[in-house]
Structure 1
Amino acid sequence: MEIYTNEEQQVEAIKGWWKENGTSVIAGTVIGLAGLFGWRWYNDHQQTNMQLASSEFSRVTEAMTKEGDKAFAQVEGFINDNKGAYADLASLELASAAVKAGKLDVAAAQLTRVADQGDASVQAIAAVRLARVLAEQGKADDALARLAKIQDAAFKAQVAEVRGDILLAQNKPEEARSAYQAAADAGGLQSSAELRLKMDDLALPAVAVDEKPDA
């Protein structure tokens, strides 16, 4: 590196370096600042959107609580206009209300959306609920197929119990018993108060109505 003995030489050296590299420095600075401010703008924009989505989510779900199925269209509009956590939660809320209102097609559509496209944290929840709705619609095979796709280990007991419910409704008590046992083995007795009752019911021997005890 050369040693500059006076300020004039230093100034001339700076001018020469700037002439050769100034354009790239300016470009780099502009890009860097654009990236910095762009990132800040993006974060601020995302934060604003989340706040708006939160407020709108509260509004439409409250309307659904007060107005029932009359507010379904509002909730569906919110879901269509949004993505992410609030849209997924709205779909789950709408599906629950639709089941209570007897509108199983609406519930199935919303649960299918979350199970297939929602955040990973709620996909299994939606899939289990969807299996119940499909079974209620008389689509037992579709329900069992949906359950078979759930790989989340945390839902192993719940999946097995729902499978047992579906098999029992199909008049397959032996397969249902095996499914309930699998649920129990996976810790289902700690999370489901009804599982023990279901297992006990299937363990009881069948007794004919007209059968009389020995004298």
Structure 2
Amino acid sequence: MEVYTNENDQVDAIKRFFANNGVALVVGLVIGVGGVFGWNYWQSHKTNVLQESAQKYEAVSTQLHSGTVQGIEAAQKFAAETDDVYSAMMGLELAQISVDKGDLANAQKALTYALAKAKTVDMQDLISFRLARVQLALGNLDQAMTSIENIKGKSWQAAAQDVRGDVLLQKGDKAGAKAAYTQGLESDGSQSLRGILTLKLNNVSNS
């Protein structure tokens, strides 16, 4: 089911980023904690925890994509019990599987949990965008609008305005939808997205 456009490139990029830099990011957050002994202990502990989480994520992700009930249950357990970026990424994977099955309610649930575990603005924006698309498909228009308003990154604004326009159009607000599509075109979006926004803007203007 094509509920939201393919952002798998962004997801893969985030995975690669945290695979390469995740430990350094976590370590960097506590610079200035103070005390050489305390710092070294904390650094070693957090590094080990994140590495263990990364390894478990890879194993559970492989199990999840085997398509078994056990794999889904293992992924849900990992997402619930892990409190780092890998929990958020597992939530994204669970949501994608639910969307592929047409189970939008479970997709919304998985994305809501993932958003609570997301540690970076870019990942929060990605999850909020996908959540908004799912909520729109479910007809939860007010929730979808809230999710769109939570998107902060400049690079996401064209896509966010695209969905915002769709929500407003469903609400019967053609003027608002037209303004959203126009704002999306004025943002930094891909050529394909600009084409979609242009088509939607023309349809609203001529209706």
Residues 182 and 54 (structure 1), Cα distance of their counterparts in 2 relative to 1, 3 Å cut: same
Alignment-derived partner of residue 114 in structure 1: 114
- C-alpha displacement of 1:127: 1.1
Tell me which residue corresponds to 2:79: 79
Q: Which secondary structure does the structure 2 equivalent of 1:188 belong to?
A: coil
In 2 relative to 1, CA 50–162 (structure 1 residues): closer, same or farther, beyond 3 Å?
same
- Per the normalisation by structure 2, the TM-score is 0.71
Identity percentage of aligned residues: 26
Q: Which amino acid aligns with 2:204?
A: L
1:172-211 → structure 2 map (5 Å cutoff): 172-188=173-189, 190=191, 192=193, 193-203=195-205, 205=206
Distance 1:68 1:200 in 2: 45
Q: Which amino acid counterpart does residue 186 of structure 2 have in structure 1?
A: D
Number of residues of Structure 1 aligned to a counterpart in Structure 2 = 171
Cα 1:69–1:126 shift into 2, 3 Å: farther
Alpha-carbon deviation of 1:38?
4.4
1:88 maps to 88
Matches within 5 A, 1:116-155: 116-121=116-121, 122-155=123-156
Instruction: Give the superposed CA RMSD.
Output: 2.4
Q: What corresponds to 2:31 in structure 1?
A: none
Q: Is the 8 A contact 2:115 2:124 kept in 1?
A: yes
How far is the alpha carbon of 1:162 from its aligned partner?
A: 0.6
Which one has a bigger Cα radius of gyration? 1
CA contact (8 A) 1:189 1:196 kept: no
d(CA) in 2 for partners of 1:71 and 1:182?
42
Which residue does 2:49 correspond to in 1?
49
In the alignment, is the contact (CA less than 8 A) between 2:155 and 2:188 conserved in 1?
no
For structure 1, the 5+ residue unaligned runs are 1-34, 207-215
Equivalent residue for 2:65? 65
Specify the code of the residue in structure 1 equivalent to 2:180: A
Alpha-carbon shift at residue 130 of structure 1 (Å): 1.1
